[in-house]
Amino acid sequence: MDDIVIEGLSWRYKDSDWILKDINLTIEQGKTLGIVGPTGAGKTTLCLALCGLIPKKTWGAIEGSVKIKSMDTRKTPFEELIPHIGIVFENPDEQLIEPSVEDEIIFPLENFGFPPEEIAKRLEEALKATGLDKIRKKHPGELSGGQKQRLAIACALARQPPILIFDETTTDLDPVGKSEVFSLLAQLRATKKLTMIIVEHNTAQLAQFADELIFLRNGNIIRRGSPSQFFCDVAFLKENGVYPPQVSEVFSEISCTYPNSLDKNQLPVTLNDAIQLLHEILDLEEISYNSVEIKDQLPSTSEVIIKAQDVRFTYPDGTQALNGIDLELRKGEFVAIIGNNGSGKTTLINHFVGLLKPTEGDLEVFGMNTKDVSVENIAQKTALVYQNPDHQLFCQTVFEECAYELKYSQSGRFSNEEIEQRVSEVLDVMNLTRLRNEQPFGMGRGLRQQLAVATALVKQPEIIIVDEPTTGQDASQAHSIMRILTEFNKKGKTIVVITHDMNLVSNYIPRSIVLNQGKIIIDSNTRDVYSHSEILKKASLTRPQVTELGNLLPHAPVILRIEELKDILSLKYDVKEAIAYDR
Ligand X SMILES: Nc1ncnc2c1ncn2[C@@H]1O[C@H](COP(=O)(O)OP(=O)(O)OP(=O)(O)O)[C@@H](O)[C@H]1O
> Which residues of the chain form contacts with ligand X (CB under 6 A)?
142-147, 172, 315, 317, 319, 321, 339, 341-347, 387
Q: Do 484 and 428 touch, CB atoms closer than 8 A?
A: no
Q: Of the candidates 456, 458, 450, 500, which has an alpha carbon nearest to the alpha carbon of residue 476?
A: 450
Residue closer to Mg ion by CB (options 290, 320) is 320
Size of the site for Mg ion (CB under 5 A): 4
Long-range contacts of 568-577 (CB under 8 A, 24+ apart): 568/287, 568/289, 569/250, 569/254, 569/257, 569/278, 569/282, 569/287, 570/253, 570/254, 570/257, 571/257, 571/287, 573/288, 573/289, 573/290, 574/290, 575/289, 575/290, 575/292, 576/290, 576/292, 576/293
What 3-state class would DSSP assign to 376? Answer: helix
Scan residues 346-375 and list those touching Mg ion (CB under 5 A).
346
In what side-by-side order are the strands of the sheet with 2-13?
18-28, 2-13, 60-68, 71-72
| Contact stretch for Mg ion (CB under 5 A) within 128-136, 199-207, 342-350, 448-456 | 342-350
CB of 473 to Mg ion, least distance (A): 17
What 3-state class would DSSP assign to 120? Answer: helix
Residue closer to Mg ion by CB (options 125, 142) is 142
Residue closer to Mg ion by CB (options 71, 96) is 96
CB of 492 to ligand X, least distance (A): 27
DSSP H or E run through 423: helix 416-429
Q: Using CA atoms, how far apart are residues 531 and 575, in angstroms rounded to an integer?
A: 18
Q: Using CA atoms, how far apart are residues 325 and 22, in angstroms rounded to an integer?
A: 55
CB of 343 to Mg ion, least distance (A): 9
Residue closer to ligand X by CB (options 32, 503) is 503
For Mg ion, which residue has the nearest CB?
346
Q: Give the one entry of ligand X, Mg ion, none that residue 344 binds, where binding means its C-beta sits below a cut-off of 5 to 8 angstroms depending on kind.
A: ligand X
- In residues, how long is the chain? 583
For ligand X, which residue has the nearest CB?
146
CB of 146 to ligand X, least distance (A): 3
Candidates 145, 268, 461, 518; binder of Mg ion (CB under 5 A) is 145
Q: Using CA atoms, how far apart are residues 249 and 173, in angstroms rounded to an integer?
A: 25
CB of 342 to ligand X, least distance (A): 4
Long-range contacts of 480-483 (CB under 8 A, 24+ apart): 480/431, 481/450, 481/453, 482/507, 482/508, 483/508
CB of 344 to ligand X, least distance (A): 4
Q: Give the one entry of ligand X, Mg ion, none that residue 342 binds, where binding means its C-beta sits below a cut-off of 5 to 8 angstroms depending on kind.
A: ligand X
CB of 150 to Mg ion, least distance (A): 12
What 3-state class would DSSP assign to 460? Answer: coil
Residue closer to Mg ion by CB (options 332, 389) is 389
Q: Give the one entry of Mg ion, ligand X, none that residue 317 binds, where binding means its C-beta sits below a cut-off of 5 to 8 angstroms depending on kind.
A: ligand X
Each residue 376-415 as x (binds Mg ion by CB under 5 A) or -, in order, gives -----------x----------------------------
Q: Give the one entry of Mg ion, ligand X, none that residue 221 binds, where binding means its C-beta sits below a cut-off of 5 to 8 angstroms depending on kind.
A: none
Q: Using CA atoms, how far apart are residues 536 and 41, in angstroms rounded to an integer?
A: 35
By the 10 Å C-beta count (0-12 exposed, 13-18 middle, 19+ buried), 140 is classed as buried
| Contact stretch for Mg ion (CB under 5 A) within 29-37, 143-151, 241-249, 510-518 | 143-151
Q: Give the one entry of Mg ion, ligand X, none that residue 450 binds, where binding means its C-beta sits below a cut-off of 5 to 8 angstroms depending on kind.
A: none
Q: Give the one entry of Mg ion, ligand X, none that residue 319 binds, where binding means its C-beta sits below a cut-off of 5 to 8 angstroms depending on kind.
A: ligand X
Each residue 31-50 as x (binds Mg ion by CB under 5 A) or -, in order, gives --------------------
In what side-by-side order are the strands of the sheet with 360-365?
320-330, 304-314, 360-365, 368-369
Residue closer to ligand X by CB (options 467, 474) is 467
CB of 321 to ligand X, least distance (A): 4
Residue closer to ligand X by CB (options 73, 449) is 449
516 binds Mg ion (CB under 5 A): no
**What is the bridge-based pairing of β-strands 163-167 and 85-88?**
parallel
Q: Give the one entry of ligand X, Mg ion, none that residue 321 binds, where binding means its C-beta sits below a cut-off of 5 to 8 angstroms depending on kind.
A: ligand X
Amino acid letter for position 358: P
CB of 242 to ligand X, least distance (A): 25
Residue closer to Mg ion by CB (options 145, 440) is 145
Q: Do 125 and 153 touch, CB atoms closer than 8 A?
A: no
Residue closer to ligand X by CB (options 252, 499) is 499
Q: Give the one entry of Mg ion, ligand X, none that residue 343 binds, where binding means its C-beta sits below a cut-off of 5 to 8 angstroms depending on kind.
A: ligand X
| Contact stretch for Mg ion (CB under 5 A) within 138-146, 227-235, 400-408, 561-569 | 138-146
Q: Give the one entry of Mg ion, ligand X, none that residue 364 binds, where binding means its C-beta sits below a cut-off of 5 to 8 angstroms depending on kind.
A: none
Residue closer to ligand X by CB (options 216, 465) is 465
Q: Of the candidates 521, 523, 473, 535, which has an alpha carbon nearest to the alpha carbon of residue 496?
A: 523
Q: Give the one entry of Mg ion, ligand X, none that residue 315 binds, where binding means its C-beta sits below a cut-off of 5 to 8 angstroms depending on kind.
A: ligand X
Residue closer to ligand X by CB (options 200, 501) is 501
Amino acid letter for position 17: D
How far is residue 76 from each of residues 5, 56, 449, measured CA to CA in Å? 15, 9, 36
Q: Give the one entry of ligand X, Mg ion, none that residue 531 binds, where binding means its C-beta sits below a cut-off of 5 to 8 angstroms depending on kind.
A: none
Residue closer to ligand X by CB (options 27, 529) is 529
Task: Give just the sign of the alpha carbon dihedral 370, 375, 376, 382.
Answer: positive
Chain centroid to Cα 246, Å, comes to 16
Residue closer to Mg ion by CB (options 270, 449) is 449
CB of 354 to ligand X, least distance (A): 16
How far is residue 244 from each of residues 15, 108, 238, 545, measured CA to CA in Å? 34, 37, 7, 12
336 beta partners: 497, 512
Q: Give the one entry of Mg ion, ligand X, none that residue 388 binds, where binding means its C-beta sits below a cut-off of 5 to 8 angstroms depending on kind.
A: none
511 beta partners: 335, 525
Cis ω before 55 (30° cut-off from 0): yes
**Interacting residues toward Mg ion by CB under 5 A:** 144-145, 346, 387
